[in-house]
Structure 1
Amino acid sequence: MELRQLRQFVAVAEELHFGRAAARLHMTQPPLTMAIRQLESLLGVPLFLRTRRSVRLTAAGEALLPRARRLLAEAEALAPLARAAAQGALGRLRLGFVSTIGFGPLPGWLKSFREANPGVELALQEATLDVQLQAFAAGTLDAGFVLHAPGAVPLGFQALSVLREPLVLAVARDHPLAGRPRLALRQVLGEPLVIFPREITPSLYDAVLSLYSARRIAPRIAQEAIQMQTIVNLVSAGMGVAWVPESVTRLQRPGVTYRPMRAAALACETSLIWTASPAPVVQRFVDHVRAHV
């Protein structure tokens, strides 16, 4: 069965007149009559009751008509669907992100992207850099927002820098340093440190510890934690102080305050990374973010 045959059947079924149906299809009546007979022969049932004065649908014709219309509509939608997929307006985007970008511009970017691209399904995964790299290697991630030291983008990826911000110090509210509006390095380097494990973002971990090694001070690492929320909670419990991205200050945890440094001590960078030759939907998201950065 061909779509052409279904179009011919629908035209006759809607007009209930072979002459008008032929004119609608821009053909003459004899070929149309023959085409309907061939379709009836193919199906093994009559679709129309014909007399000299009228044409009516049989029960088989009545049953076939709505399904034929649906098939034709779906066929007509194939070309726009293929074009939309080729342009990245249709598909599934598997996106990783670190928690810190969630405190910043990411929610707004996701909202505007979904509004502009309703045909794209977003599959979000909050994950640290090491977990995202594993997902890229396994082919289960298309793009990701990762945290790293400035300029230290993971090798082998295309990247777009989306955010650069200073690191500030999270301290417990009852800590003596909490009463100072700005801090000097000499005031904080001797404090117990709550920090993320090196494997989740090696470049930033090394940048933090270089502050101590450059001054020949051994950091007093009191506790390691993966999530920034957990690090801030440990600070509130008096476990130590923590270097956190400035965007984390939007996380208002009772018992914790954030203090900037007198001089720029450390900074971090968030980048959107993706592999070479990205799918159209990935490129569309990259272009959307680039337009908003």
Structure 2
Amino acid sequence: MSEDSIDLRVWRQFLAVAEELHFGRAAQRLAMTQPPLTQAIARLERTLGVRLFDRTRRRVALTPAGEALVPEVRALLAQAQALPARARAAAAGEVGRVRLAFVSTAGFEQVPAWVRAFRAHSPGVALELVEATGDVQLGAFARSEIDAGLMLHTPGSAPAGLARLPVATEPMVLALPARHPLAQAPRPALAQVLAEPLVIFPRRIVPSLYDAVMALYAQAGCAAQVAQEAIQMQTIVNLVAGGIGVAWVPESVTQFRRAGVVYRSGRELRGAGRHGTVLPVCETSLVWPAGPTSPALARFVGFVRELVGG
């Protein structure tokens, strides 16, 4: 018998003898006769090349090597006993791992609430979070580094090749420097706003939303004067507070209460919605690779679907 062939039955026999310190009682506990048990322990000792028990006519005692094995064997047998239940739990998505990427706007509201709720609902599933822009998420999907992502885009424009669950739709709003004259007006004119320097995210981050913002300027018959690009929405808002320009951001960003910034919705802009000038709308979707999914991911998607009523 080689070390590779030592099966759990032999370790159960070892543990019975170690706990009883009597071959007769151990054999009785294992529902077998004593000679086969004695032979099994002798074979185990030969295979390992160490003595596990000191045996005399009157007593059986563990050797130091045998004592060292007892806790390890107990743990091994406990793990083996738990394997069937764990396999069933894994197949049901009750245990496992979901690596979730998210854009910063989702981090204001959806992600914290969902993480708390999902961890209470499925404590056996590890939800690992990483903040990443849409382009970074696509690369991570290609390398199988994430299982799902929360992406920002215009309605219906999620990246191709991914399964999608829309989770939120919101308008874009205007962010103005608080000291700018337009911020003091109750209803600044859209035409005046569009003439201001613009702070915006690079197109590669959210192509559909970038194009929608540029289309807003084109509809009004002007070209955007891009003063600065920034990747994170919080950075964009900070640049607006510093007077670099104005910005169009998802409404959820208004929860980022940055001093020195004033937000204006479309209803507060004169000329918005008229003469074909349509303010952009953005959508957040939960996305994941199309095709078969792990049970844990399927469980998470189902949980989110129930939350959003999708």
TM-score by length of 1: 0.88
CA contact (8 A) 1:184 1:261 kept: no
CA contact (8 A) 1:183 1:261 kept: no
1:87 lines up with 2:92 in the alignment: yes
Q: Which moved more, 1:194-203 or 1:77-86?
A: 77-86
Identical-pair percentage? 60
SS in 2 for 1:200: coil
CA contact (8 A) 1:48 1:61 kept: no
Q: Which moved more, 1:231-240 or 1:53-62?
A: 53-62
Write out the 4+ residue segments of structure 1 that deviate beyond 6 Å after TM superposition: none
CA contact (8 A) 1:165 1:246 kept: yes
Unaligned stretches of 5+ residues in structure 2: 1-5, 274-278
- Displacement, 1:156? 0.6
Q: Give 1:136's aligned residue.
A: 141
Quick one: distance in 2 between partners of 1:156 and 1:66? 50
SS in 1 for 2:204: helix
The equivalent position to 1:238 in structure 2, one of 235, 240, 243, is 243
1:49 lines up with 2:55 in the alignment: yes
CA RMSD of aligned residues (A): 2.4
Quick one: distance in 1 between partners of 2:28 and 2:289? 54
CA contact (8 A) 2:191 2:220 kept: no
Deviations 1:15-38 (A, max 9, x none): 233333233223333433332333
Q: Give 1:216's aligned residue.
A: 221
- Displacement, 1:128? 1.4
- Displacement, 1:187? 4.6
- Displacement, 1:131? 1.6
Q: How many residues align?
A: 292
SS in 2 for 1:229: helix
Quick one: distance in 1 between partners of 2:289 and 2:153? 17
Q: Give 1:12's aligned residue.
A: 17
1:286 lines up with 2:291 in the alignment: no
The equivalent position to 1:268 in structure 2, one of 259, 279, 282, is 282
Quick one: distance in 2 between partners of 1:86 and 1:67? 28
Q: Which moved more, 1:161-170 or 1:124-133?
A: 124-133
Q: Give 2:276's aligned residue.
A: none
Q: Give 2:3's aligned residue.
A: none
Quick one: distance in 2 between partners of 1:135 and 1:63? 45
- Displacement, 1:183? 5.1
The equivalent position to 2:41 in structure 1, one of 29, 36, 39, is 36
Unaligned stretches of 5+ residues in structure 1: none
Quick one: distance in 2 between partners of 1:39 and 1:128? 57
Q: Give 1:153's aligned residue.
A: 158
Quick one: distance in 1 between partners of 2:70 and 2:228? 70
The equivalent position to 2:82 in structure 1, one of 77, 81, 87, is 77
SS in 2 for 1:198: coil
Give runs of aligned pairs for residues 199-214 of structure 1, distance below 5 A.
199-214=204-219
The equivalent position to 2:171 in structure 1, one of 156, 160, 166, is 166
TM-score by length of 2: 0.84
Q: 1:287 to 1:180 in 2, by over 3 A?
A: farther
- Displacement, 1:225? 1.7
SS in 1 for 2:266: coil
The equivalent position to 1:114 in structure 2, one of 83, 105, 119, is 119
Quick one: distance in 2 between partners of 1:41 and 1:221? 79
Quick one: distance in 1 between partners of 2:68 and 2:223? 82
